[in-house]
Amino acid sequence: MGWGRTLVLAAVLGWWGVACGPTLEGGAPVEALPEDPPPSEPPPTCLPIPVSCEGKRCGLVSDGCTSLDCGSCGEGEQCIGNVCTTGTKPECVPETCHTLMANCGEYPDGCGGTIQCGTCAEGEVCGAHLPRWCGSCDVSGDLGSSLPVRLEGTPGYRGSTPQYGEHLRDIYRWTAPRTGTYVISNAGSGPESWVKVGLDACASTLAPGPTPEHPNRYHLEAGQSVYVSVFGDGRWLGHVRSFFHLNIVEAAASEQGQCADRIDNDGDGTLDCWDAECSATAECQVEACADVKTGPALPVHVQLPKGLGYDLFKPDCGPQGRDERVVLWTAPKSGTYVFHGSEHVYGISLRNGCRGEQLACDIGYEVQGAQSYTPVLVRQVAAGESVLIVLQGSEGIDHRPFGIPEALLVHEWVPSEGEGLCEDKQDNDGDGRVDDRDPSCPNYVEW
């Protein structure tokens, strides 16, 4: 399918979605805090953004709070735009607060001067959400001392209408019930999702514990509170809205034996079959990563689970970062089979195991119109062979950020839908056109 269609549909679907906010497993809403108790220490007035001198030869680089000196130029050279140049000095155009998209902080203007973009109101911090922009570190919800925490959702928009590329942040407080080592992780979350665990709401002081080997482990005292910031990217027209899974558990020594719970139990940054301690186990051949197991059924018309999926397989056709539903199916006999979803399918791919190779992949949109196309795969499968079918949702009318396909269909391939197979909701010939959208059907409707 063409990208033009993708973008048109993304524009259409983009307006249907709404951020739906987080839920704890079991559907209980997170308790909102009517008032955040006063922090024990005054909040920082500025949060630096990560900067370095990499790719820069000279001049100052600002992290939004202070400036980093990247050196000076040789005799007869000028530093312009962090590059040393000789000869005629080109006209230098200084940066402005507008070009930097800043409403707070002090920055080099790129031409040797500095610009002052203002200070934040009381209670606000420069860089709380967006770099160089005033914001407040309000706590979104209190998770108490519950264990385990399994929270999923989309980070909330702050302030104005969401815009393309807007950064989002939710802040959750959680209190350690006893002294110990805990895993706080967003493993399996969607694209552009990341967490920061701090001892204050702005996370200006990071919680202790993480190492390169165990980046999700934290050592906490009984009664100690941490503030987990869940960041995301609120791209509005794009179809890659962030979603997250936040887990807090007591750290295990190993992932072994816990390969199917969608939790990074040992805090090493990988979960389940994606952790080396699980990947070679028999469970991770196909069983551990399937949401639904159909057995040797034919035809298959299986409803898929609701809620947010995980972004683990990352099929390699089209943009990555969709929530996924995974079905394990075993062919009852050798044959040529058609695989497709219903409703708002974005992509479908086949795999021969949780960590196995991708066998085939297709993307598309369920668009009403002349180019109506349902992503579909046609493949020969031997009797007794098991395949994992990964379906990816698109933003749809169920108002989830990544509306899921309702069902997966697997059936035997025939050369043409023709008469008699045009009302069964199956793409019998595997051409991406279902029933009255297939030109081979007498009830074909040209939209």
Q: Which residues of this chain interact with Ca ion, rule CB under 5 A?
A: 255, 258, 261, 263-266, 268, 270-272, 275, 417, 421, 424, 426-429, 431, 433, 435, 438
Measure CA of the first residue to CA of the last residue in the chain; give whole Å.
Answer: 18
Nearest-approach distance from CB 413 to Ca ion, in angstroms: 10
Could you tell me the smallest distance in angstroms from the CB atom of residue 389 to Ca ion? 18
Place of tokens 């999700």: 216
Least Å distance, CB 184 to Ca ion, is 13
Interacting residues of 437 by C-beta distance below 8 A, sequence separation 6+: 372, 444, 445, 447
**CB of 158 or CB of 245, closer to Ca ion:** 245
> In the complex, what is the shortest distance from the CB of residue 280 to Ca ion, in angstroms, rounded to a whole number?
14
Q: Which residue has the tokens 């800043």?
A: 102
Strand pairing class (300-303; 244-250): unpaired
Rounded to 5 degrees, what are φ and ψ at 302? -110, 130
**Residue 76 vs 415, nearer CB to Ca ion:** 415
Q: Which is nearer to Ca ion, 216 or 386 (CB)?
A: 216
Which residue's CB is nearer to Ca ion, number 288 or number 391? 288
- Of 148, 153, 156, 194, residue with least CA distance to 174: 148
Token pair 């030869």 in the structure block, residue = 57
Task: Give the Cα separation of 445 and 435 in Å (integer).
Answer: 9
Shortest Cβ 416–Ca ion spacing (Å)? 8
Instruction: Identify the three-state secondary structure at position 6.
Output: helix
Residue closer to Ca ion by CB (options 6, 216) is 216
Task: Give dist(CA 87, CA 48) in Å, integer.
Answer: 35
CA atoms within 13 A on the CB side of 421: 18
The CB-of-257 to Ca ion minimum distance in angstroms stands at 9
d(C-alpha 165, C-alpha 181), whole Å: 35
Q: Which two tokens stand for residue 137?
A: 């570190």
Residues 6+ apart with CB under 8 A from 342: 405, 406, 407, 408, 409, 425
**Nearer residue to Ca ion within complex by CB, 104 or 367:** 367
| Residue number with CB closer to Ca ion (264 or 366) | 264
Specify the 3-state DSSP secondary structure of 70.
Answer: coil
Residue 5 C-beta: closest distance to Ca ion, Å: 18
Shortest distance in whole angstroms from residue 187 CB to Ca ion:
8
Q: How big is the chain by its Cα radius of gyration, in Å?
A: 26
Question: Judged by CB, which is closer to Ca ion: 117, or 434?
Answer: 434
Indicate the Cα dihedral angle 56, 58, 59, 62, nearest 10°: 30
Tell me the closest approach of the beta carbon of residue 384 to Ca ion, in angstroms.
27
In the complex with Ca ion, the residue whose CB is nearer, 157 or 244, is 244
Q: Which is nearer to Ca ion, 275 or 311 (CB)?
A: 275
Q: How far apart are CA 406 and CA 393, in angstroms?
A: 9
Shortest separation between residue 437's beta carbon and Ca ion, angstroms = 8
φ, ψ dihedrals at 247, nearest 5°: -120, 135
